[in-house]
Amino acid sequence: MKRRKFIKNTLITSLGAGLLGSIYTWQIEPFWLEFVKVKMPIKNLPKNLIGKTLMQISDVHVGNKFDYEYIIDSFKKAQLYNPDFVVYTGDFVSYETPEQFNQLEKVFKYAVNGKLGTAGVLGNHDYGIDWLEPDVADKISSILDKVNVTILRNEEISFSGLNILGVDDYWGSNFNPVKIMNKYDTQKANIVLCHNPDVCDLNVWNNYKGWILSGHTHGGQVKPPFLNPPILPVKNTRYSSGEFDLYDGRTLYINRALGNLYQVRFNVRPEITIFELEEKL
């Protein structure tokens, strides 16, 4: 009888733990936003920009995969940080139908904008179904332009002496990193936006030295403790999340994503990154 009671209690405990774990990964962690603070030393940074903040928001994924009111709430929280610059690193939508355009407009009424400037790049999901619909990318860029988010499609823009180079998406039809990296000026204070970190391994960088801000991976969204994420949408599985020294003067930072491709996260909380700008000597 004692053995039966022990087995019964063990099963009940296991089922209870499994249920609680499922609720946590489905209803709690996907919406448990973390603001991550990182120092960002930049060569040639103007003196007046030392100590300024640059906020990175990535992989918003507005659509029907989860309740996007969470994104609006997150934007409201982010606005309280009053960032000087804001950059978005792609995947504004999880595109299925033109309904996503209306949803994007609704969410980005609350867009987080920098006091000195706001820019972004597109991700693969911004190129529509199977990344083969450039008209979807054009429409998304137009919507964002109306709320003062400048989308860089192999282009650059300068705000108060900070030069931002934007590489269009690796899997999209407009990928042309050589076009923009040929404009790299070593005398400027530069950062690069590039949705997919696999681009870091291509021979396209024109001896660039500096920061590259990416997203795309979501940190795997599910990560067993002390182990690497079992699934990552990149060739180079070193590129999961966080800061990486690329050993050639480049530093890569991969944001864990604000939104969710699917509403499940474990040990990989959603992230908004706040960089404090420093002068690199």
Show pLDDT as tens, one digit a residue, over the chain (281 residues). 545 554 444 444 444 444 555 789 989 999 999 999 999 999 999 999 999 999 999 999 999 999 999 999 999 999 999 999 999 999 999 999 999 999 999 999 999 999 999 999 999 999 999 999 999 999 999 999 999 999 999 999 999 999 999 999 999 999 999 999 999 999 999 999 999 999 999 999 999 999 999 999 999 999 998 889 999 999 999 999 999 999 999 999 999 999 999 899 999 999 999 999 999 98
Number of domains in the chain: 1
CA distance linking residue 165 with residue 183, whole number of Å: 9
User: Which residues, in sequence order, are bridge partners of residue 6?
Assistant: none
| Structural domain includes residue 129 | yes
| Structural domain includes residue 149 | yes
CA distance linking residue 151 with residue 157, whole number of Å: 10
Cβ count within 10 A of residue 182: 10
Q: 224 with 182: CB under 8 angstroms?
A: no
Give per-residue pLDDT as tens, 82-99: 999 999 999 999 999 999
pLDDT for 20 equals: 58
| Structural domain includes residue 11 | no
pLDDT for 17 equals: 44
Give per-residue pLDDT as tens, 124-137: 999 999 999 999 99
| Domain membership of residue 202 as a residue range | 32-280
| Structural domain includes residue 78 | yes
Sequential DSSP letters for 149-182: -EE-SSEEEEETTEEEEEEPPTTSTT--HHHHHT
* pTM of this structure: 0.93
| Structural domain includes residue 74 | yes
pLDDT for 11 equals: 43
DSSP H or E run through 78: helix 69-79
CA distance linking residue 249 with residue 237, whole number of Å: 21
pLDDT for 26 equals: 87
pLDDT for 15 equals: 43
CA distance linking residue 170 with residue 122, whole number of Å: 10
Q: Report the C-alpha dihedral over residues 7, 12, 15, 20, rounded to 10 degrees.
A: -140
| Structural domain includes residue 169 | yes
| Structural domain includes residue 21 | no
Cβ count within 10 A of residue 212: 23
CATH of the domain at 133: 3.60.21.10
**CA distances, 253 to each of 99, 115, 129, 212 (Å):** 32, 23, 27, 6
CA distance linking residue 64 with residue 261, whole number of Å: 10
CA distance linking residue 268 with residue 275, whole number of Å: 20
| Structural domain includes residue 66 | yes
pLDDT for 19 equals: 52
